[in-house]
Amino acid sequence: MSSVPDRSEVDEEYTWNLESIYATDDDWEAAYEAVSERVDELARYEGQTIDDAETLLTVLELRDEVMRDVSTVAAYARMRRDEDTTDQHYQALTARAQSLASEAQSASSFIDPELQELTREEFEEMVEAVPDLETYDHYVDDVLRMKPHTRSAEVEELLAELSEVTGASGDVYNMLSNADMEFPAVEDSDGESIKITQSNVTNLLKRTDRDFRRRVYEAYFDEWEAMRNTVATAYKNSVKADVKLAGVRDYDSAREAALDGPNVPVSVYDTLVDSVHDNLEKLHHHAELKREALDVDELRMWDLYMPLTGDEGPDVDYDRATEYVVDSLEPLGETYQSRVAEGLNSRWVDVYENEGKQSGAYSGGTYDTQPFILMNYQDDISSMYTLAHELGHSMHSELAKDEQPFVYSGYEIFVAEVASTVNEALLTNHLLETVDDDEFRTHVLNEFLERVRSTLYRQTLFAEFEHETHRLEEAGEPLTADRLDDLYRGLKAEYYEPAVVDDRIAREWMRIPHFYRAFYVYQYATGISAALALVDRILEEGETAAEDYLTFLRRGSREYPLDLLRIAGVDMSTSEPIDRALATYGERLEELAELLE
C-alpha cells in the first residue's frame, strides 16, 4: 500500500486556495470564452499599431489586458492539473489554455515589428500627444534596441515558422532522456532493488553506502554511453542552429545573441568565469573535506554528492520551518516579514505530496491572483530551504505587481534567482545565529555549501563548456562525441582537482537538458553571486541596504537587469559581487570544518 495520501486526505489548511481565482470550473469556462473573443479583437489591429498615438495606446493596453486574462486562465488550469497529473479533465483544460496562449501570442506578434518602424523621436512625439504612452517608454526602448537584429517581415515569419525545426534537437533529446531511456535497478545493502531514474539519481548518490553509490554511478553513466553518438549528434545540431540563427540576426556570436535579449554584455559572462577560476581553491578545499569526512584515500566522482555530515539530517516539520523562515526575514523589515507570514496563513502553499501530484516545487500565480507555491514537503532541512526559496520568488512577484503596470510585472531570468537566494542566505544566517545544536548547525552549513557548490561553481563549469562548444562550431571545427567528452573531462578535472576524474564523468555533459537552451545556465551563477553579496550588504548596513533591495524587487522589469541590480547595491559588470559571494562560501566552509573537528 502506498504511503502517499490521496489528495482528499490532505487537510485543507495545507493546500493552496485556487478557489480564490475561480470559484468553480464553470467560472473558468466563462473567463476562457471571454478572453478568446478579445484575442480576436486584438488581431484586428494588425497594420494599424502606429497609425496615431491614440491607436498605439489602445493596442498596447488591449494586448496587456488580453495577456493578463490569458495568464490567469492558464495558471488555474495548470495548477489544477498539478494537483493530480492523472486527472484527464484538468489535462484537457491545460491543453486548451496552452492553445489559447499560443493564439494570443500569434495575434499580438505584429506589434513589435510595427513599432520598429518608429524612430525614438517619433515615439516621443506620440508621448507628447498622449502622455499615458509614457508608461511604455522602457518597453518601446527595448523593442527599438533590437531593430538592428530584426529581419524583414518575410524572414521573421519564416524564422517563426521554422522555430519547431530549429528547436528539434532539444525535442529529440527530451524524448530520448525522459521517455525512451531506461536505467537499470541497483540492489542496496538491504537487498532492495532500486530502479535508477533521472529524478532520483542525485539522491541515490547521497546514500551513505559507498559501494552502492559506485554501482549507481556506473550503471547510470553506462546507460548514457549507449546513447553517446545519438546525444552528441543532437547537441551538435543544437549548437549549429544557435550559431546559424545568430548569423541570420547579424550577431558576431551565438553567445552575443543570447545575452543581448536581456541586454547583458558578454563581459559579464567572462568576468564570472574568471572570478570562479580565481577561487577554485575553495572548491578544492570543499572536495578535500569530503574526502576526509568519508575517510577514503581518493575522492571519486560517486562521492561528490555526499553531504559532509554523512547521514540524514534532523527532522524539521512544516510548521516549524515556517517559523524559522519568517523569523529569518527580519532584516528585510516588518512589512515584508508580516506579508510572508500572512501569505503562509492564507493558503499560498500546497504543502504535502499526494497521489499524482506534480513533483518538485515552484512559485506560481499571476498579476491578478495571490501567489501560489507548489511543494512536496519532506520534513527536512532541504525542504525548509526550498520553501524559503519559493517564497522569495513569490514576494518578488508580489512587490513588483504592487508597484508596476502589467507590462513590467515580470522579470528577466538574470535577476529571477536573486530574491529566492537572498531568502536562503538570510535563513542560513538566522539559523546559525539562533540554533545552538551543533549537529543541526552542521546540516545547515552543509545545505548552504552544497547549494553554492551546485549553483555557482557547477553552473559556471557548464557555462564554460557551452561557450567553448559554440566557439568550436563558429570556428568550423567538428563537435564529435570524443571532442565533447575531452572538453568536459578537462573542465571537470580543473574544477575538482583533488578528485579522481574517470571516463564515465566525461559523459556528464550528456545529462544536462539546459544545454539545449544555450547560454542560460550562467544566470544561476550570477544570480546567487548577486544575492549573497546583497545579503552581506543588508546585514552590514541594515535598513538603508534593505530598502534598496526592496526597491529593486518593486521595479519588476522597468529597467534592464544590470541597472536593476545597481539599484539594489550590486554591480554585476564587475567581479566584486562574485568575489564577495565566493568569500562567504569560503568562510562558511571553514565554519563547517571547525564543527566537524
Q: What is the DSSP string of 475-509?
A: TT----HHHHHHHHHHHHHHHTTTEEP-TTGGGGG
Q: Where are the alpha helices (DSSP H) in 404-480?
A: 413-434, 438-452, 458-474
Which CATH number does the domain housing residue 571 bear?
Answer: 1.10.1370.20
Residue 289 Cα distances to 214, 307, 309, 458, 582, angstroms: 19, 10, 11, 18, 17
HSE-CB of 151 using CA atoms within 13 angstroms: 14
Answer whether residue 220 shows pLDDT above 80. Answer: yes
Average pLDDT over residues 130-140: 98
CA gap 231, 521 in Å, rounded? 19
Q: What is the pTM of this model?
A: 0.91
CA gap 246, 254 in Å, rounded? 5
Answer whether residue 168 shows pLDDT above 70. Answer: yes
- Give the pLDDT confidence score for residue 141 in this predicted structure: 97
**Cβ-proximal residues to 60 (8 Å cutoff; 6+ apart), any chain:** 111, 133, 136, 139, 407
Q: Final residue of a domain: which of 126, 161, 196? A: 161
* 3-class DSSP state of 185: strand
Number of domains in the chain: 2
Answer whether residue 1 shows pLDDT above 80. Answer: no
CA gap 392, 419 in Å, rounded? 5
Whether residue 1 is contained in a domain is answered as: no
Answer whether residue 162 shows pLDDT above 90. Answer: no
pLDDT more than 70, % of the chain: 99
* One domain, residues 304 and 431: yes
- Give the pLDDT confidence score for residue 545 in this predicted structure: 97
pLDDT band at 159 (very low <50, low <70, confident <90, very high): confident
- Give the pLDDT confidence score for residue 142 in this predicted structure: 96
Whether residue 80 is contained in a domain is answered as: yes
Average pLDDT over residues 22-49: 96
Partner residues linked to 372 by β-bridges = 364
Question: Can you state the percent helix, strand and coil of the chain, rounding each to 5?
Answer: 70, 5, 25
Instruction: Answer whether 64's CB lies under 8 Å from 405's CB.
Output: yes
Whether residue 227 is contained in a domain is answered as: no
Which CATH number does the domain housing residue 73 bear?
Answer: 1.20.140.70
The counts of H helices and E strands in the chain are: 26, 7
* One domain, residues 154 and 267: no
- Give the pLDDT confidence score for residue 166 in this predicted structure: 86
Average pLDDT over residues 514-519: 93
Answer whether residue 2 shows pLDDT above 60. Answer: no
Instruction: Answer whether 227's CB lies under 8 Å from 219's CB.
Output: no
Average pLDDT over residues 397-409: 98
Whether residue 336 is contained in a domain is answered as: yes
pLDDT band at 594 (very low <50, low <70, confident <90, very high): very high
- Give the pLDDT confidence score for residue 158 in this predicted structure: 81
pLDDT for 230-277, tens place per residue?
A: 999 999 999 999 999 999 999 999 999 999 999 999 999 999 999 999
Quote the mean pLDDT of the chain: 94
Q: Final residue of a domain: which of 137, 161, 185? A: 161
- Give the pLDDT confidence score for residue 4 in this predicted structure: 83
pLDDT for 410-445, tens place per residue?
A: 999 999 999 999 999 999 999 999 999 999 999 999
Whether residue 246 is contained in a domain is answered as: no
Average pLDDT over residues 498-523: 95
* Other C-beta atoms lying within 10 Å of the C-beta of residue 265: 13
* 3-class DSSP state of 192: coil
Answer whether residue 309 shows pLDDT above 60. Answer: yes
- Give the pLDDT confidence score for residue 179 in this predicted structure: 79
* One domain, residues 271 and 397: yes
- Give the pLDDT confidence score for residue 71 in this predicted structure: 97
* One domain, residues 305 and 450: yes
Q: Final residue of a domain: which of 97, 127, 161? A: 161
Give me the domain span that covers residue 75: 7-161
pLDDT more than 90, % of the chain: 87
Whether residue 127 is contained in a domain is answered as: yes
pLDDT band at 175 (very low <50, low <70, confident <90, very high): confident
Residues that are catalytic: 390
CA gap 442, 111 in Å, rounded? 54
Whether residue 15 is contained in a domain is answered as: yes
- Give the pLDDT confidence score for residue 67 in this predicted structure: 96
Residues in the chain: 597
CA gap 166, 443 in Å, rounded? 45
Residue 276's nearest CA partner among 525, 593, 536, 531 is 525
Whether residue 368 is contained in a domain is answered as: no
Average pLDDT over residues 37-64: 96
- Give the pLDDT confidence score for residue 15 in this predicted structure: 97
Average pLDDT over residues 302-322: 90
pLDDT for 434-484, tens place per residue?
A: 999 999 999 999 999 999 999 999 999 999 999 999 999 999 999 999 999
Average pLDDT over residues 213-221: 97
Answer whether residue 123 shows pLDDT above 90. Answer: yes
pLDDT for 59-87, tens place per residue?
A: 999 999 999 999 999 999 999 999 998 89
CA gap 44, 586 in Å, rounded? 59
